[in-house]
Amino acid sequence: MAKILNIGSLNLDYVYAVPHFVAAGETLLATRRDVFAGGKGLNQTVAAARAGAQVFHGGAVGADGDMLLDLLRDAGADVSAVSRVDVPTGHAIIEVNPQGENSIIILGGANRAVSPETVEAALAKVDAGDILLLQNEINGLDAIIRRAAEKGLRVLFNPAPMEAAVKELPLHLLDTLIVNEGEGRALGGDMDALRAAYPRQKILLTQGSRGATLWTGSERLFQPAFPVKAVDTTAAGDCFLGYYAAALAENLPYADALRLASAASALAVQKQGAAPSIPIRREVEDFLKGIK
């Protein structure tokens, strides 16, 4: 089985239940506040670890990051390549409306202070053919992608949150580019144009409640979402990607990987919070057994 390395964000999530997303100039009364461990990097690592993969996490936290490291260890991830920096841990402010939709503001903090030494320590944990997960919530992505390609890693990159600078990254070195519909349009217009721009890369398009589509060269695979009642979609995409990476590490066929990831995501959206909502592998397999 291949190993997974995630050099990614580690956040404290402050989640507010609101009747609707706050508008410009509006003061809105929240009905509840919870504090969770989060960050796209942490969520994806937790998902891959709970899926049963051997996972290493690289990144940075401040003095207030113990909660995050404890959660990663409890999930089964190796955090020996996470460094302590003299910067507050990254955090997010998340609004969740009654429909389970979310609106998120992120402060990078320590996630934007990942040193080259930390990156090298993390990359030393894996070998050619292993998987590297990346998101757009840490600094130094250009160098990380290039070093990973030199090392022969399979790089799966999710450019969220999307920004113009993503276009300047060496995306041609990726194994898989993972985007939602908005990110895909921002990068290349429609999917045909995006695929033409990166013909050697697999492209995985996540489509929310509709499902996900994967292009692997000339092959197109579509996995519909499982119909469930969503309570909180905060970690849905991260849960999907972590489980998908774990399935690839097991060398499962792409169709099976998409189905497993979709089932995990369906379970995650039925619970509050980011990392706490991510299911363990047995729960996902039991869910799939119940699907006719």
Q: Tens digit of pLDDT for each residue in 122-160?
A: 999 999 999 999 999 999 999 999 999 999 999 999 999
Rounded mean pLDDT, 116-120: 97
Question: Would 239 be classed as within a structural domain?
Answer: yes
Question: Would 26 be classed as within a structural domain?
Answer: no
Residues recognised as catalytic: 238
Question: Would 149 be classed as within a structural domain?
Answer: yes
The answer to whether residue 118 scores a pLDDT higher than 80 is yes
Q: Which residues contact 142 (CB under 8 A, 6 or more apart)?
A: 168, 169, 170
The answer to whether residue 264 scores a pLDDT higher than 80 is yes
Question: Would 25 be classed as within a structural domain?
Answer: no
Question: Would 257 be classed as within a structural domain?
Answer: yes
Q: Which domain holds residue 127?
A: 4-20+32-289
The answer to whether residue 45 scores a pLDDT higher than 80 is yes
The rounded mean pLDDT for the chain is 94
pLDDT category at 14 given cuts 50, 70, 90 is: confident
Question: Would 27 be classed as within a structural domain?
Answer: no
The whole-number pLDDT of residue 188 equals 84
Question: Would 128 be classed as within a structural domain?
Answer: yes
The whole-number pLDDT of residue 19 equals 96
Q: What is the DSSP letter of 36?
A: E
The whole-number pLDDT of residue 247 equals 98
Task: Report the 10 Å Cβ neighbour count for 66.
Answer: 10
Rounded mean pLDDT, 256-285: 94
The whole-number pLDDT of residue 272 equals 82
> In Å, what is the CA distance from 270 to each residue of 53, 197, 263?
23, 37, 12
CB 128 within 8 A of CB 103: no
Neighbour-count burial of 49, counting CB atoms closer than 10 A to its CB (0-12 exposed, 13-18 middle, 19+ buried): buried
Question: What CATH number has the domain bearing residue 199?
Answer: 3.40.1190.20
> In Å, what is the CA distance from 121 to each residue of 62, 107, 144, 273?
18, 25, 12, 30
Residue 278 CA from chain centroid, whole number = 12
The number of folded domains in the chain is 1
The answer to whether residue 273 scores a pLDDT higher than 80 is no
| Type of residue at 183 | E
**Whole-number Å distance between alpha carbons of 213 and 11:** 29
User: Tokens representing 271?
Assistant: 């619970």
pLDDT category at 292 given cuts 50, 70, 90 is: low
Q: pTM for this structure?
A: 0.90
Q: Which of 7-11, 198-202, 271-275 has the lowest mean pLDDT?
A: 271-275
String of DSSP letters for 75-121: HT-EEEEEEE-SSPPEEEEEEE-TTS-EEEEEE-GGGG---HHHHHH
Question: Would 242 be classed as within a structural domain?
Answer: yes
pLDDT category at 265 given cuts 50, 70, 90 is: very high
> In Å, what is the CA distance from 225 to each residue of 177, 203, 207, 208, 216?
20, 18, 9, 8, 20
**Whole-number Å distance between alpha carbons of 182 and 208:** 11
The answer to whether residue 186 scores a pLDDT higher than 80 is yes
pLDDT category at 291 given cuts 50, 70, 90 is: confident
